[in-house]
Amino acid sequence: MASKVVAVANQKGGVAKTTSVHSLGVAIARRGARVLLVDLDPQACLTYSLGFDPDQLDVSLHDVMARRKRMDEVCKSVDSVPGLSLAPATIDLAGAEVHLLSRTGREQVLSKALEEVSDSYDIVLIDCPPSLGVLTINGLTAGNYVLIPLQCEALSNRGVSQLMETIDDVRMFANSDLEVLGVIATMYDARTRHSREILDEVRSNYGLRVFEPAVPKSVRFAEAPALSKSILEHAPTSPGAEAYRRLGDEVRVALGLL
């Protein structure tokens, strides 16, 4: 069966996008699924968080985007989590963006590469960069679905509007079947009325599903990447870890994998 491909995207930085990809990937893999995480961000934060030094990698997703390597030649198993693999990034990926601008079919490069490994994974989670450039367009074109991490504050809400316009463009020109799976509320502070109002606006203005539960703010999230761990491994009994475990199950249900 072909894998379900989910692009995790929000062009606003600092909304816990990489944290969400990492945590959901671990949570879903621990349920027995075969999961591939794709680090499409030249900052390579996901790669670093999973314990790989981007400066020491001989091959990476850049080589795939430059059409020098196949996807299966760059993917690495995450030893600490059975069933979890990574297509790592390096800073060279920033050069791939420039390279792609002059290539025919530039929006389709990642999609074609993932087709080659489609039967090897149940779900692919793509960590898109915090921009609406050609790399993010590749992620959206490759995806069956989009999952939007949303920090519950006004600027993030504005970013959703811009992202939805980009999704409409991708549907029109490159991937007509792309669906918005929903929104994950991150860094949520239930004590503030503002956070609740933002989520209500997202539901009413865009008709988007907001997955439950919201992910609470916690210093544990900042500590985990330096230890090459997700929140589920670093602080498994924390509210944040429990939130991502439940969200992982919700995403599996939404994708028909449960």
The count of domains in the chain is 1
Cα separation of 163 and 93, whole Å? 22
Residue 211 lies in a domain: yes
Domain ranges, residue 34: 4-253
Q: What is the per-residue pLDDT across 155-213, written as a single tens digit (0 to 9) for each?
A: 666 778 888 999 999 999 999 999 999 999 998 887 888 888 888 888 888 889 999 99
Residue 29 lies in a domain: yes
Residue with tokens 């389709």: 108
Residue 258 lies in a domain: no
Cβ proximity of 148 and 164 under 8 Å: no
Residue 56 lies in a domain: yes
Residue 157 lies in a domain: yes
pLDDT at 96 over 90: no
Residue 189 lies in a domain: yes
Residue 104 lies in a domain: yes
Cα separation of 200 and 210, whole Å? 9
Average confidence (pLDDT) over 7-13: 91
Cβ proximity of 231 and 219 under 8 Å: no
pLDDT at 258 over 80: no
Cα–Cα distances (Å) from 213 to 100, 151, 203, in that order, read: 38, 13, 15
Q: What is the per-residue pLDDT across 209-240, written as a single tens digit (0 to 9) for each?
A: 999 999 998 899 989 998 999 999 999 999 99
**pTM for the whole structure:** 0.96
Please measure the distance between the N-terminal and C-terminal CA atoms of the chain and give it in whole angstroms. Answer: 14
Query: CATH number for the domain including 161?
Result: 3.40.50.300
Contacts of 177 (CB under 8 A, 6+ apart): 144
Confidence at residue 156, expressed as pLDDT on a 0 to 100 scale? 67
